[in-house]
Structure 1
Amino acid sequence: MSDLTKVTNTTKDNAPLIEFPCDYPIKVLGSADPALHQHVLQVMDTHAPGFDRSKIAIRDSSKGKWQSITVIIRATGKPQLDDIFADLKISPRVKMVL
């Protein structure tokens, strides 16, 4: 095992949900605006420093009003994911985080 301790979240039946650390995609849906992209990058730099920026996928809606930004990070645990989701939702441009 590496320096990171392997952590497993489990359900009532003790079936693993997610084993950490793992690659974890986070999708942010919001208003198509350069400020949305900057906000997502800032949050990821804070909570997942060194994430691979080449793996960012951006898709615009058909009319260009909305945008989805998918980032793949190396998740280290549920607290990290909770912090990322909370910080992403601070921006009024963010409508949903998956």
Structure 2
Amino acid sequence: MTGQDKSQTPPKIEFPCDYPIKVMGFAAADFEQFVIEVMKKHDPSFNGEATIRDSRNGKYQAVNVTITATGEVQLKAIFEELKASGRVAMVL
């Protein structure tokens, strides 16, 4: 039963680390820049590198970035700011 308990516990992340984030939101000319600015606010070392993909119908965009995560507090703050904007549908 011990093995079963371990499989249900999410692995601990060792900070700091490279941390990929995918932000999906409503398509707009400035959506990628918006995501980059939020990331820079929470990770001053973020270089602004991002990839963007449009959905099949063009209604949504996905922006992928990799930040240097420093802890759970930072990740939670990023998630909350993105969601509070009203522009973001999902953060993975």
What interval of TM-score do these two structures reach, taking the shorter chain for normalisation?
A: 0.7 to 0.9
SS in 1 for 2:44: coil
CA shift at 1:34, angstroms? 2.4
Residue 67 (structure 2) pairs with residue 73 (structure 1): yes
Unaligned residue ranges in structure 2 (runs of 5+): none
Which ranges of 4 or more aligned residues in structure 1 deviate by more than 6 Å?
A: none
Unaligned residue ranges in structure 1 (runs of 5+): 1-11
Correspondence for 2:46 among 40, 47, 51? 51
Q: How many residues are paired up? A: 86
Give the TM-score normalised by the residue count of structure 1.
Answer: 0.77
Rounded Cα–Cα distance in structure 2 between residues aligned with 1:32 and 1:57: 14
CA shift at 1:21, angstroms? 0.5
Give the TM-score normalised by the residue count of structure 2.
Answer: 0.82
Rounded Cα–Cα distance in structure 2 between residues aligned with 1:68 and 1:20: 25
More strand by share: 1
Rounded Cα–Cα distance in structure 2 between residues aligned with 1:83 and 1:76: 12
Residue 33 (structure 2) pairs with residue 42 (structure 1): no
